[in-house]
Amino acid sequence: MASTVFKNGQVTEEEWVTVSPDEPLPAGKAIVVSFTDFLADAKRFLESSSKIGVALAPADDAKELEPYLNGLSLVAVDFPQFTDGRGFSSARVLREQLGFEGEIRATGAFILDQVSMLKRCGVDSFAPSNEVVLRGLLEGSGMEVTLYSQPSISPSEQAVKGRPWLRRETAA
């Protein structure tokens, strides 16, 4: 995983350690395993004394994690290119369809312009591979979008008068 993460308006050091299936699991650590490795030995990971996270690649089906979501603390959704939007769908499936309440993290090559929409899909932390994006997150650049036509997971949203398809975030 990345060495720095943007969460709750600030950059923090990464607490998650990526492990491969043949490594011993570090007790009491927050570990991330690949989707494939997790599904191959979910019981072992979930019975460990560690916080468990899963790294979800664009081609992975988030719905396959449904039986295990109560035991997961993190799902890291990878964006290998900013043009690959499958991670948006994965985040929405996790939050809206499966009711995942843990942390959803966007990782990889997303761009600053996508952060606002990622938040609307349920992403709550970011580990960008590009330092410019990380700097922009710190500065709050380009993240203010006030009107949306995309539905949201947010219950604090209402239609704009006269335009029911246009949504505005309201104070919670």
pLDDT at 65 over 70: yes
CB atoms within 10 A of CB 87: 26
pLDDT in tens, 16-62: 989 987 888 888 889 999 999 999 999 989 988 779 999 999 999 99
Tokens of 33: 């395993």
Provide the pLDDT confidence category of residue 1 given band limits of 50, 70 and 90.
very low
DSSP per-residue string spanning 89-109 = HHHHIIIIIS---SEEEEEES
CB atoms within 10 A of CB 142: 15
pLDDT confidence of residue 142: 55
pLDDT in tens, 82-121: 888 899 999 999 999 999 999 999 999 999 888 888 988 8
Q: Sheet holding 10-13: strands in order across?
A: 10-13, 4-7, 125-128, 103-108, 74-79, 51-56, 30-34, 16-18
pLDDT in tens, 153-165: 555 666 666 666 5
DSSP-H helix ranges across the chain = 35-40, 42-46, 86-92, 115-120, 131-139
Smallest CA-to-CA distance from 135 within 112, 157, 165, 105 is with 112
All domains of the chain in start order, with CATH: 4-143 (3.20.20.70)
- The mean pLDDT of 64-76, rounded to a whole number, is 97
Tell me the torsion sign for CA atoms 14, 19, 24, 30.
positive
Please tell me the pTM assigned to this model.
0.80
